[in-house]
Amino acid sequence: MKVRTRFAPSPTGSLHLGGARTALFNWLFTRQHQGTFILRIEDTDVERSTQESAQGIIDSLSWLGLDWDEGPYFQSERMDIYWDHLARLREKGMIYPAFETKAVLEVMRQKALAEKRSFIYDRSALRMSPQEIQAKMDADEVFVWRFRVLDEGVTDVPEVLMAGGHYHVKNDTIGDFVITRPGTQAKPGMPLYNFVCAVDDALMGITHVIRGVEHLPNAAKQVLLYRALGYDIPQFVHLPLIMKHGKKMSKRDKEAQGKFPVSILERRDLGYLPEATINHLVLLGWSSEDAAEILLVDKLKKEFDLARLSRANANFDEDKYLFLNAHYLKNMENAILVEKITPFLLKAGLNVTAFTAEQLEKMVAMEKKRCKTLAEFPDALAFFFMRPETYAEKGVQQC
């Protein structure tokens, strides 16, 4: 079996460190097995998705050096495929329209809360006759499509990080879940995540779904969709959380807004190196057999193994990130380092054309042991660019 993986971000914001780790683990696993790595942009949320965010994700992956073999595919360009699969489910009687408004559903949720039980949709829509349903559709009433889940039995989810390699979910705890946004017969609602994700993973031949643990509740629903459509079920790997100060790291945290940059492009602009970023990210949930801290990409591509993934949440260590960045700076060839710091020097208003390439290389050789990021070099090298305002009289006389 040839390994096929995908990284499937939503373009609703920048690529953050957690998403980059997911992309990295997919990429390393694929490269280790000489497989195919696919980039898929999940942009069916038209209200929140932007082309700017999609380009930012692509730029972030390119900066990290995580190249893809297929894509980028955009789900917004694959709508005919989803409508076709929706029709197949409808023909099989596996989905049905539900017309409840948000207000009605909220009443149901509050009732379940008061009775101290989980909210499971009560299938009110199934009590309508075919004539009633058609009349509502002809009147262009708003509805969603729900996938009908069998009441009995369990759904088995193959999961690498679970004891025994799988886990079970009781079907009566899942409920008939929604697979489209609200819409009408004239203007159908856009298909939702679980549905389009399952369809795309199946059609793209994905063998391993490696993603964050926040997607674990979706896995059973997607397995049900695979089975309903007659597709093979991939192997799932749900990565533990990345924690910061004991809390889940998130791009929406107040701490993330200015104090703790979680965006890959922010880190790039602050002078971090892709090598250090990859090194630090891979240590957030994986360890090499020799427990090495310095991990070059070539080594990772040869050694990365799902069996060495941790089941515990990882703690983001800013000091270690800086240490790794400083390490790669110190060991970088001076000519390459000059090329990397030049944009930072120009931004600081320093005239790099006043020196030859050889002179600049000598400067960075003198200062790179003191710098931890590329952004620190303008201050470290500023002395060389300054014209002295005073002169030592004895020195002038000797000229």
pLDDT the model gives residue 390: 57
* Domains of the chain listed by start with CATH number: 1-73+240-331 (3.40.50.620), 332-385 (1.10.8.70)
H/E segment holding residue 209 = strand 208-212
Cβ atoms of residues 109 and 118 within 8 Å: no
Residue 54 backbone phi and psi in degrees, to 5? -60, -45
pTM for the structure as a whole = 0.92
Angle between helices 274-282 and 318-330 (to 10 degrees): 140
The whole-angstrom separation of Cα 170 and Cα 220 is 9
Per DSSP bridges, beta strands 208-212 and 235-239 are: parallel
Six-digit token pair at 177? Answer: 């879940």
Residue with tokens 């939503």: 10
- Per-residue pLDDT, averaged over 185-208, amounts to 98
Q: Is the pLDDT of residue 357 over 70?
A: yes
Task: Give tens-digit pLDDT for 202-220.
Answer: 999 999 999 999 999 999 9
The mean of the pLDDT values for the chain is: 94
Q: What's the Rg (C-alpha) of the chain?
A: 27
Using a 10 angstrom Cβ sphere, with 0-12 exposed, 13-18 middle and 19 or more buried, the burial of residue 279 is buried
- Residues for the chain: how many in total? 399
Using a 10 angstrom Cβ sphere, with 0-12 exposed, 13-18 middle and 19 or more buried, the burial of residue 333 is exposed
- Cβ-based neighbours of 255, under 8 Å, separated by 6 or more: 244, 245
Please count the helices (runs of H) and the strands (runs of E) in the chain: 15, 12
Task: Give tens-digit pLDDT for 2-16.
Answer: 999 999 999 999 999
With CA atoms as reference, report the closest residue to 172 among 121, 219, 215.
Answer: 121
pLDDT the model gives residue 389: 61
Confidence of residue 246 (pLDDT cuts 50, 70, 90): confident
Q: Which residue has the higher pLDDT, 62 or 47?
A: 62
DSSP code of residue 257: T
Per DSSP bridges, beta strands 166-170 and 208-212 are: unpaired
Q: How far apart are the first and last CA of the chain?
A: 76
With CA atoms as reference, report the closest residue to 324 among 292, 360, 299, 298.
Answer: 292
Residue with tokens 């931890």: 372
Question: Dihedral sign, CA of 55, 57, 58, 62?
Answer: positive
SS3 26: helix
Which residue is catalytic, options 136, 221, 244, 251? 251
Q: Is the pLDDT of residue 254 over 60?
A: no
Calculate what percentage of the chain has a pLDDT beyond 70: 94
Angle between helices 17-32 and 274-282 (to 10 degrees): 80
- Per-residue pLDDT, averaged over 227-242, amounts to 97
Per DSSP bridges, beta strands 36-41 and 70-74 are: parallel
Using a 10 angstrom Cβ sphere, with 0-12 exposed, 13-18 middle and 19 or more buried, the burial of residue 142 is middle
Q: Is the pLDDT of residue 157 over 70?
A: yes
Task: Give tens-digit pLDDT for 161-181.
Answer: 998 899 999 999 999 999 999
- Cβ-based neighbours of 111, under 8 Å, separated by 6 or more: none
With CA atoms as reference, report the closest residue to 27 among 231, 281, 235.
Answer: 281
Using a 10 angstrom Cβ sphere, with 0-12 exposed, 13-18 middle and 19 or more buried, the burial of residue 383 is exposed
Characterize 340-366 residue by residue with b for buried, 16 or more Cβ atoms within 10 angstroms of its Cβ, and e for exposed: ebeebbeeeebebeebeeeebbebbee
- Per-residue pLDDT, averaged over 284-305, amounts to 95
> Is 254 considered catalytic here?
no
Cβ atoms of residues 226 and 232 within 8 Å: yes
Q: Which amino acid is at 396?
A: V
